[in-house]
Structure 1
Amino acid sequence: MVKGFFKTGVGFAKSRQVVIDSAGGKRLVYRRHAAVRARIRLRRGLERCPLNERFVKILATGFGSGLAPLAPGTAGTLVGIPLYWVFSVLPWPIRLITVLAFTCLAWRIADEAERLFGRKDAQCIVIDEIAGLQWTLFLVAPTVPHVALGFVLFRLFDIVKPFPARLFQDRLPGGLGVVADDLAAGVYGNLALQVLIRWLGI
């Protein structure tokens, strides 16, 4: 039977019970709290999860931005802004190669993410928005007005999906369809942004 029950002073990580055994002797039995046991199970589960799957999910969701309860596409696009500023310091030929490489990576990641999430173009997959924004802001000076206007234009074209963006999304398979419509939106956004920059003189 249990004689007493009290907590230790070590972060409340364990509880200890004084148990009287059948021979009348006393012994201490340490037990972890349920919350601690749950954290341990979660950590062990993550350790068993293949690294490549975790890597895919982190990138596909834009470091978790795609899990936002409202407007995950907009949240994911915001993540693309710091990446754009990193790319903007590169000479334009290297930047072109870098953006192309990132777009190909987004294609591959989106392809794997669809398989992992079990849904076609799941809303939480936002790496395509991150890639698309890079094309809208390509060869655009990294100023706040340019970036803000480019952000709005890209989101507009990404939502409206003018031809052939929607066709790409509906007809192309896997990650290619996920990324291609955002690539089209990015190109439309870049053209519109270049015109507005010259028209507005900003």
Structure 2
Amino acid sequence: MPEGYPRITDHPSLKAVEKDRNTILQCHAKGDPKPSIIWLRDFIPVDLSNPRLTLLEGGELQIERSQESDVGKYECVAENEHGVDYSYAANLYVKVRRVPPHFTMPPESVEVQPATDVNLTCVAVGSPMPEVRWRQGNRELTDENEIPIGRNVLELKNVLETKNYTCVASSDLGIIEEIAQVKVT
């Protein structure tokens, strides 16, 4: 190998990163003059115009807010006037966390005076985030076109009688329900 020939000294390695998390793929090279580094994903140059991808000063590739579209086989290429050196290829996997819905703020039963207004709040989380809607008996109270994600406040005006209201949180991983009573005293 001629003197000054680029040589990769630190290769990228297998990575598994959670979706929406940041990660850095390692790559360092020696040579004289100092080699330039480019990255390939599945044998195609990585598009550094993507604001989530940054080539760091040392040659590492930083990926911000990892997405499923980032999955692939990565390798770095070091090049200078004497030649080219390719790193070992390393797979990047992006794990999508899946969590069934659960309440972080279930609705609470309340006692009110007749003809008063009351708000019932219900908050649920999960991955994917659940839709949250309200029901009274079998009657849907949340507009089908405006179902909020994660949080829903039921505004009741001029309450005259005791009733039960059900908060329903649903995603493709399940449905949970919690009942709150508005009791008129």
TM above 0.5, one fold? no
Larger helix proportion of the pair:
1
Which has more radius of gyration?
A: 2
Tell me the TM-score normalised to structure 2 length: 0.28
